[in-house]
Structures are given as C-alpha cells and as structure tokens.
C-alpha cells in the first residue's frame, strides 16, 4: 500500500524504537483532552445510573489505588507539612492547592484528641474542569477520584490513616478537609 | 485582598448568597432588603455565589482565576474575533 497517498507524515519504525516525536500539535492535545473529558464525564454518569451511590465507592477505590501508586517513590514522613508538600508534588499543577483557614483561626492545623485536620483549598482541578465540560454537577462520583487519590497518597507518605471531606464546591475553587488519625495505621 | 462589589440595583434580595457562602461573607441588610458584604477577609474566591445569584449582582476583584481548559480554544478564538 502506498501510504504517501493517504498521509504526508511518513516515518520508519522498528519494534523497540521509542519515537522521538509524539506527533500532533497543541490542537491535537486539546482535542484529545476534550475527548477524554467527555469520556470520563459519560462514564461517571453511567456508573452512577447503574450503581447509584456505589459509584462513589468504586471511583474512590480507583483514586486511592492511584494515590498509593503515585506516592510510592516519595519520601516517607510523619510531619504533616512535609506530607502536604509531597502531596502537592504527587497531585501536580493540575490539582493546585493551598492551605486555608478562616481569618480568626490562629493555626492552619487543628489538633483534637488523636486527630489532626487541615483545610485545603483546591484552586485548580482537572476533575472540576471535566465536570464543567460535560455539564455534570460537582460532588458527584468523579470528585471521589480526587478524594481517593489524596487519601492514597497521604497514607502512602505518612503510613497513617487519612480521610478527606468536602466542605464546599464552586466553579473557581473547592474547600476540603484532610483528617489524619495518628493512632490508626 | 479580595474585594467584593454588590450591584444594589441588580440585587433582588433573595438571600441565596447568604445561605450559600460557607464563610459567612454576606449578611442580609434587612432595612433595604439587599445583601451586604460583612466578612470579605474570609472569601476564598470559590465563586459558588456567582452561580447561585439569579441577578448576577456581585463582582469579585483581585482573585485567582482557575484554569478553564474545558473551554475550547477555537470557540474562544472565534468569540474574541466577534466581541
Ligand atoms: S466566592 Fe465563595 S467564599 Fe467568596 S463570597 Fe462567594 S461563596 Fe463566599
Ligand atoms: S443572591 Fe444575588 S440577588 Fe440574591 S441577595 Fe445575593 S446578591 Fe442579591
């Protein structure tokens, strides 16, 4: 078959060859991102339709596994500040967050019994963007992917049990509370 | 710091923003049945109040703007040419 009749981009491949070029330009990346966003959105709503609230648990487990996997190479620490730094490295720019507290509260970190909590404000989030791309509400199953991801990563780095609760969602930022239980491993 | 401006002519006094904001940034001014900003310092710029306000009566200044990769750049480009 003469490929030059079909495409201008011709190349030579050997089985072991890692291509030097990814192929495509920024527009292709954008198109791919939007297709994936639509797929993810559609999968999430179908999952919810079939399994109801069980969808949250499934997506949470998937996220948690990802979190554990991604944080495996990170330094282990019991220091919350360091763990948050590691978490930001795992989550990257696409899930950019900062610590947040009301102005009247002295410290970002609150200690109660054997639990410590810190509020995290997520300014950027790919999940939020995916939901907006597909017209789905926030706090649905897809949000559980990020909860699971965070919990998995924190548990991996700190070797302690963690929990994430959603406080509030908006189109420009979401507030979450991360709880670490010191006694539970 | 975040600055919030309320368009008093547009505000219909529904109090949706007061109920929605988790950080008690707004309060109802019962005298003229409009919302008022009472705790700007705790605004985290989530903008859920923008989504809920039926009158689009508020404006937030000097806030971070989250990435909006869900908007098609081609659509943006076309809009920029029209507007
Ligand atoms: S942006 Fe969020 S925190 Fe700020 S006033 Fe609106 S609802 Fe409250
Ligand atoms: S939600 Fe909008 S219209 Fe309703 S009280 Fe608040 S600013 Fe006014």
pLDDT of chain A, 185 residues: tens digit per residue: 788 888 877 877 777 767 677 778 888 889 999 999 999 999 999 999 999 889 999 999 999 999 999 999 898 998 999 999 999 998 888 899 999 999 999 999 999 888 999 999 999 999 999 999 999 999 989 999 999 999 999 999 999 999 999 999 999 999 999 999 876 55
Supply the pTM of this predicted model: 0.88
Give the pLDDT confidence of B2-58 residue by residue, as tens digits: 999 999 999 999 999 999 999 999 999 999 999 999 999 999 999 999 999 999 999
Residues A161 and A92: beta-carbon distance below 8 Å: no
A173 and B64 within 8 Å at the Cβ level: the answer is yes
CATH number at residue B20: 3.30.70.20
Q: How many helices (H) and strands (E) does chain B have?
A: 3, 4
Pocket mutation for ligand 1, best pick of A170, A172, A173, A175 (most atoms within 8 Å of C-beta): A170
Residues A78 and A116: beta-carbon distance below 8 Å: no
- CATH 3.40.50.2300 for domain A21-181: no
Q: A144 vs chain B: nearest CA distance in angstroms? A: 19
Which residues form the domain of B46?
Answer: 3-82
Nearest alpha carbon, ligand 2 atom 8? B11
Domain boundaries, chain A: 21-181
Please give the tally of structural domains in chain B. Answer: 1
Q: What is the pLDDT of residue B76?
A: 83
B42 and A102 within 8 Å at the Cβ level: the answer is yes
């Amino acid at each position: 078959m003469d490929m030059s009749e079909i495409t201008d981009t011709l190349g030579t491949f050997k089985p072991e060859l890692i291509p030097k070029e990814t192929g495509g330009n920024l527009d292709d990346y954008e198109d791919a991102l939007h297709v994936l966003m639509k797929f993810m959105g559609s999968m999430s709503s179908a999952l919810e339709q079939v399994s109801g609230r069980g969808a949250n648990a499934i997506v949470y487990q998937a996220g948690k596994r990802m979190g554990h996997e991604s944080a495996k190479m990170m330094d282990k620490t019991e220091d919350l500040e360091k763990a948050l730094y590691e978490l930001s490295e795992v989550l990257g720019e696409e899930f950019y967050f900062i610590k947040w507290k009301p102005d009247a509260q002295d410290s970002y970190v609150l200690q109660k019994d054997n639990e410590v909590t810190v509020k995290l404000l997520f300014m950027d989030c790919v999940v939020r963007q995916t939901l907006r791309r597909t017209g789905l509400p926030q706090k649905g199953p897809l949000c559980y992917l990020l909860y699971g991801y965070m919990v998995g990563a924190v548990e991996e780095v700190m070797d302690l049990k963690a929990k994430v609760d959603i406080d509030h969602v908006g189109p420009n930022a979401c507030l979450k509370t991360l709880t670490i239980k010191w006694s539970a491993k | 710091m975040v600055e919030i401006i309320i368009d008093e002519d547009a505000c219909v006094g529904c109090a949706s923003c007061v109920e929605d904001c988790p950080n008690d940034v707004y309060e109802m001014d019962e005298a003229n049945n409009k919302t008022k900003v009472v705790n700007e310092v705790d605004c985290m710029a989530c903008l859920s109040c923008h989504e809920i306000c039926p009158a689009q009566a508020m404006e937030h200044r000097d806030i971070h703007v989250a990435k909006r990769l869900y908007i098609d750049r081609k659509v943006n480009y076309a809009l920029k040419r029209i507007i």
